[in-house]
C-alpha cells in the first residue's frame, strides 16, 4: 500500500463562507493540499434546539459554497456523520496533519464534543488549530482588555480567499472519499417562506440595506411590519457564518462616510458590537444555557402550566400582537427584536413561566438561532440578570404604538381582520351585542385572553423588583458586572 498523502482539513461549523474565513486562510498558507469539510453531526441533527429550517439553511449555504468553489475544481465534502468517525474514514485515504476551524461558542453539547475531539487529535497526532471567531475569545477571566481587543479585530484586514492551482483537493479525489460516507442530501424545499442561505444571498440582503433600506432603520426598528424591510435581515447570515461580523462592520463604516443617514448606520454598527458582547458573555458563562446567570434567581420558583405554554407556542393566547408575532415567527423564522422581547416577556412575566421552558421552542423557530445571543437575551427579557432594567411589555400598548393600523395583526391573525381597528387590538372588549354585529364569537372564532394581564403584570413586577434587593441577587450582580463590564458600572450599582 502506498504511503498516504499528508493533507490539511478545514472543518466548517458556523463559518459557512470562503471570504474572511481565517481557518481557510491559515490552511492555504501550508504547502499541503487542503480538504474543506462539513459534517451534519448526529448529535446536532437530534438536538432539540434545532429544526429542519436550520438544516435547510445550512444546505443552501453549502450549495452556494460549492458554486463558488467550481472554478477551483473542488467542493465541500459534506457528510452525515459524527466528527470522530468522519476523521477516521478520511484517514483511510489521507494522513491528516492539521485541522483548521474556529472556536465555536455553541451549546454545551458542542463544547463537550470539542473537548473529546481535542483528545482524539492528540491520540492521532493531529494538530488542531482553532481561530478566534468574530472577536470572541476563549478563556477570559474578565473584560479588562476585551473591548480594545474586539475593536482591533474588527479594524484588522479581511482574509482573502485566493487558493493556488491544485491547492485544494480536487472533485475527483473528494468523490472517492464520498464512497466511504453517507453523503448529505442537499435538496431543500423550493417553496419555503424562509430566507435562503449562502453568502451570495447574504450579500444581497446586506447590499440592499446599505443602498437604501437603512434610511428608515431607526424609525421602523420597533414596528413589527415595517421592520421586516427596514432592518438589515442579515442576522441568519451572521449566525451561520455566511457573512463575518468584520465584513459587515467594514462595509457599514464605508457606507457611513458618505451616507446622509449617518445616525441610522451608526445605530446599526452599535448593534454589531453588541452581538460580539453577548456571545462573549455566553462564552464566559456557559451555565446560562440551563440556569440564570445570576444565581440569586435560582430560588425563584414558577408553577408550570401546560395550558399557558401550549397557547403561547401556537399563538392562541387571546392577545393579538403576541399571537401575530408567534405565528409570523413560526411561518417565516423572523420577527424584529421588540417582538422577540415581548414574546419572551409575555411568557415569563404575564404567564409566569420559567424562561427555560421557552428556550427550545424559540430556538427551533428563530432562523438566526445563535446560542450566544439566545440564552443571554432570554434571561434579560425574563428579568433574571439583576443588572438590566426590568421590562414587562404590555402587548396592547405595543400594538397600539407600533402597529396602529393593525397591518401586522391582520396579516397573521386573519380571524379578527374584519373587526374595526380598536377591536383588533383588544377583541376582548367587545360586548355580546357588538360580537353579534360582526358575526364574531369571542372564545370560538378567537380565544379569550388566557390570563388577566393587569393582575399578572403587577405580580411579576412586585416579585422581581423585590428580588433585586435580595442580598444574593446584589452580590451576584456585582460579580457579573466585574466579570463582564468596566469597573465604573460596578461602582454605580454599589451606590444605588
The pLDDT of residue 256 is 92
Q: CATH homologous superfamily for 5-133?
A: HUPs (3.40.50.620)
State the 10-residue block means of pLDDT for the chain, 496 residues long. Answer: 88 98 96 97 97 98 98 98 97 97 95 97 97 86 84 93 96 97 96 96 98 94 97 97 96 91 92 87 92 95 96 98 98 98 98 98 98 95 92 96 98 97 97 97 97 96 95 94 65 34
Q: Looking at domain 199-284, which CATH architecture does it have? A: Alpha Horseshoe (1.25)
Task: Report the candidate in 410, 397, 329 with the shortest Cα–Cα distance to residue 363.
Answer: 329
Q: Where are the domains of the chain?
A: 5-133, 199-284, 288-495
State pTM to two decimals. Answer: 0.95
The pLDDT of residue 99 is 98
**288-495 fold:** DNA Cyclobutane Dipyrimidine Photolyase, subunit A; domain 3 (1.10.579)
The pLDDT of residue 2 is 66
Rg, the chain, Cα only: 25
The answer to whether domain 5-133 and domain 288-495 are alike in fold is no
Amino acid at each position: 500500500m502506498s504511503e498516504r498523502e499528508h493533507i490539511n482539513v478545514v472543518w466548517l461549523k458556523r463559518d459557512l463562507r470562503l471570504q474572511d474565513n481565517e481557518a481557510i486562510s491559515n490552511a492555504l498558507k501550508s504547502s499541503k493540499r487542503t480538504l474543506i469539510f462539513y459534517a451534519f453531526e448526529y448529535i446536532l441533527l437530534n438536538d432539540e434546539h434545532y429544526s429542519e429550517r436550520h438544516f435547510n439553511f445550512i444546505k443552501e449555504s453549502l450549495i452556494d459554497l460549492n458554486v463558488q468553489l467550481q472554478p477551483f475544481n473542488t467542493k465541500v465534502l459534506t457528510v452525515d456523520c459524527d466528527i470522530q468517525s468522519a476523521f477516521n474514514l478520511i484517514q483511510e485515504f489521507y494522513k491528516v496533519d492539521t485541522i483548521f476551524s474556529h472556536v465555536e461558542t455553541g451549546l454545551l453539547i458542542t463544547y463537550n464534543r470539542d473537548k473529546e475531539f481535542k483528545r482524539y487529535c492528540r491520540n492521532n497526532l493531529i494538530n488542531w488549530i482553532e481561530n478566534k471567531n468574530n472577536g470572541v475569545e476563549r478563556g477570559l477571566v474578565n473584560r479588562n482588555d476585551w473591548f480594545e481587543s474586539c475593536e482591533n479585530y474588527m479594524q484588522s484586514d479581511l482574509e482573502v480567499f485566493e487558493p493556488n492551482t491544485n491547492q485544494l483537493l480536487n472533485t475527483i479525489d473528494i468523490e472517492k472519499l464520498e464512497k466511504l460516507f453517507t453523503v448529505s442530501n442537499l435538496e431543500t424545499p423550493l417553496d419555503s417562506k424562509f430566507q435562503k442561505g449562502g453568502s451570495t444571498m447574504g450579500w444581497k440582503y446586506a447590499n440592499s440595506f446599505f443602498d437604501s433600506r437603512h434610511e428608515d432603520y431607526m424609525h421602523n426598528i420597533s414596528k413589527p411590519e415595517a421592520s421586516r424591510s427596514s432592518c438589515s435581515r442579515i442576522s441568519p447570515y451572521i449566525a451561520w457564518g455566511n457573512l463575518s461580523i468584520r465584513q459587515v462592520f467594514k462595509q457599514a463604516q464605508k457606507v457611513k462616510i458618505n451616507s446622509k443617514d449617518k445616525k441610522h448606520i451608526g445605530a446599526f454598527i452599535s448593534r454589531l458590537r453588541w452581538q460580539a458582547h453577548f456571545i462573549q458573555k455566553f462564552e464566559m458563562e456557559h451555565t446560562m444555557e440551563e440556569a440564570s446567570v445570576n444565581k440569586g434567581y435560582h430560588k425563584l420558583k414558577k408553577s408550570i402550566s401546560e395550558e399557558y405554554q401550549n397557547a403561547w407556542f401556537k399563538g392562541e393566547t387571546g392577545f393579538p400582537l403576541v399571537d401575530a408575532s408567534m405565528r409570523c415567527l413560526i411561518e417565516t423564522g423572523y420577527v424584529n427584536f421588540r417582538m422577540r422581547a415581548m414574546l419572551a416577556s409575555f411568557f415569563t412575566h404575564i404567564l409566569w413561566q420559567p424562561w427555560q421552558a421557552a428556550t427550545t421552542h424559540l430556538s427551533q423557530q428563530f432562523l438566526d438561532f445563535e446560542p450566544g445571543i439566545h440564552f443571554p437575551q432570554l434571561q434579560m427579557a425574563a428579568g433574571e440578570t439583576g443588572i438590566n432594567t426590568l421590562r414587562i411589555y404590555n402587548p396592547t400598548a405595543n400594538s397600539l404604538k407600533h402597529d396602529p393600523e393593525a397591518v401586522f395583526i391582520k396579516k397573521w391573525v386573519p380571524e379578527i381582520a374584519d373587526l374595526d381597528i380598536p377591536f383588533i387590538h383588544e377583541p376582548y372588549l367587545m360586548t355580546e351585542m357588538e360580537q353579534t354585529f360582526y358575526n364574531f364569537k369571542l372564545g370560538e372564532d378567537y380565544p379569550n385572553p388566557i390570563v388577566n394581564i393587569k393582575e399578572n403584570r403587577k405580580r411579576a413586577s412586585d416579585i422581581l423588583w423585590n428580588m433585586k434587593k435580595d442580598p444574593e441577587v446584589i452580590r451576584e450582580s456585582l460579580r457579573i458586572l466585574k466579570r463582564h463590564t468596566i469597573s465604573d458600572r460596578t461602582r454605580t450599582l454599589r451606590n444605588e
